[in-house]
């Protein structure tokens, strides 16, 4: 069941990250979902390093770390995807 939650959280984080980043993103939905999953993993690691990985109730600080990590990852992966796609079209 853990992998299903990872996909769902990654999908949601990826979509939120795409909505937060200004402009049009060109990466496909499956790549955005993978970036969201990676953002959740990186955000959890950062939260654990800061010491806020588990709190009472909703872990808002952990979720903020996850979202920020997802936004950064989606932004850079989308730039790389656009460069790769642009080079293929010119060739």
Question: Do residues 25 and 71 make contact, with C-beta atoms less than 8 angstroms apart?
Answer: no
| pLDDT digits 0-9 by tens, 38-85 | 999 999 899 889 988 677 777 788 889 999 999 999 999 999 998 888
pTM as predicted: 0.84
Among 19, 26, 24, 3, smallest CA distance to 71 is for: 19
- Class of residue 89 by CB neighbours under 10 A (exposed 0-12, middle 13-18, buried 19+): exposed
Q: Are 17 and 33 in contact (CB under 8 A)?
A: no
Distance (Å) of CA 64 to CA 3, 29, 42, 60:
21, 22, 12, 6
pLDDT in tens, 4-18: 888 888 899 999 999
């Amino acid at each position: 069941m853990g992998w299903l939650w990872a996909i769902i959280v990654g999908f949601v984080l990826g979509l939120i990250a795409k909505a937060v980043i200004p402009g049009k993103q060109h990466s496909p939905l499956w790549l955005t979902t993978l970036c969201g999953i990676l953002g959740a993993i990186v955000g959890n690691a950062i939260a654990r390093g800061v010491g806020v990985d588990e709190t009472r109730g909703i872990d808002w600080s952990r979720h903020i770390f996850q979202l920020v990590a997802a936004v950064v990852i989606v932004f850079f992966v989308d730039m790389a995807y656009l460069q790769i796609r642009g080079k293929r079209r010119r060739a």
